[in-house]
Structure 1
Amino acid sequence: MKTEQLQAIVVFDIDGVVRDVGGSYRRAIADTVEQFTDGSFRPTMENIDELKSEGIWNNDWEASQELIYRYQESQGKAREAISIGYEKIVDFFQGRYRGSDPHNFDGYITNEPLLMSAKYLEHLSQNNIGWGFFSGATRGSAEYILKQRLGLQKPILVAMKDAPGKPNPTGLFDVVRQILQGDNSQVSVIYVGDTVADMQTVIAASQEQPNTNWIGVGVLPPHAQNNLEQQEKYQEKLKNSGAAIVLNNVEKLNYDLITSLL
């Protein structure tokens, strides 16, 4: 596809958008916090959502550590007195999420339901919509879902360690540049995510590059759709953080809806 034919660019977050991580990443967070609080505290989905709504805990290792700290503080311990090595937290988390085999994933990651199909992405390409991925997941985890599960050959991806974490928009800019292949055309960009940090990334992008039309689209992850009250609360947080629209599934962002947003 020639870049001058692009009508728009859509960049997707992965966790909660492309795959359901309620039983994987979030389960690993809960396991990790429970492990390092000696079984005294296991955070609920609501606890994790509340933390992530602060917009600065996109890294799930850091989110796990923060939940551990906050629990210990609630028990009267000073944060400075809590001696839990970050690497130990990461290793335990990865053991649950990726599994015990360093060469082949055999952990929670293997059971993540897909929320997007390759056919949906083909539909975007056929309608001259460029697409790529910007995620806080590790490259190994992101490529596993994109290449092995979705069957994509060479997806444009910026993952953890490729760019600063969200809401810094550098990774989003990198994806757009790769899609445009050096073309400086002004194309509207939609970023699709499921967290406050994702929407804040769009706001930051619009502030740094005001000549581009940046649009945030929120997606409700499956765990936030268990009941109407929870769904409305989660939706409100995304809209208050800058989402132009909030969908309950990423594939509802079809060509017609994309053109209406532009």
Structure 2
Amino acid sequence: MDVGFIGLGRMGRALAACLVRAGHTVRVWNRSPEAAQAVAGARPVPTAAEAFAGDAAVTMLADDAALRAVIVEGGLLDAPDRPGLHLSMSTISVALARDLAAIHERAGVAYIAAPVFGRPDVAEKGALNIVAAGDPGALGRAGPLLDAMGAKTWPFGPVPERANAVKLAGNFMLVSAIEAMGEAAAFAEGHGVAGADLLDLLTNTLFASPVYKGYGASIAADRYEPPGFNLRLGAKDIRLALAAAEAVGVPMPFASALRDNLIEAIAMGDGDKDLAALARVAARRSGRP
């Protein structure tokens, strides 16, 4: 397929490379042009409009503001050459996903929300789990692209915003797991048990899953750099979850506590560290450095 890719951070570069390896023709654009040179086999283009064309366009931008600025305010949906479908893989708000679906419908461009679960190292292997929602016909056309970028695509029906709600729910659970491990480790340390030993036990028995094992290893080693997914982005996702919850009248009291702890972590200088650094909040509160 002829594919345009917009947004070449660590995750975007990995996904674009997967598409190249699968044999697709890939045009790439990024707001920082040097990033476009980092995808071997892809063709950098000078404007976002040249990437937002062809059989499909894929976007992997940092947040609501970036996606809205490039796609909507940038006028890409009004351009004469538009893609057959737009695969939006960013973690964005449910409200923006709903708006984008309506805007794309008016423009006559199929819109699929397809946020992902997994870190950049997983993306490099084409092993992400992808949550997808949108028109079934468009999802079928996007199948070869989704298969190239992920190990499995989990469909959630014809309403695009539902995929974004699923992604935010998953990220809420992920941040909750980190908070729980941080508090548990601080508790164990208070009783003379090494937090690393506790986490080694629990992440290999009761909680032997990728999230607990991966983030638990970082907490145990007090290792938060380089970040796989930085804490500031995790804070953004919790804010989005709380806003989406309020919109449908769903209380999320623990998400509110997580938001405050993430704000504290950022205030203490951990915003650009790995999300696992959230565990340092509990450690500091218990008197550990």
After TM superposition, the score normalised by the length of structure 2 is 0.28
Q: Which structure would you say has the larger RCO, counting Cα contacts within 8 Å and 6 or more residues apart?
A: 1
Which structure has the larger Rg over C-alpha atoms? 2
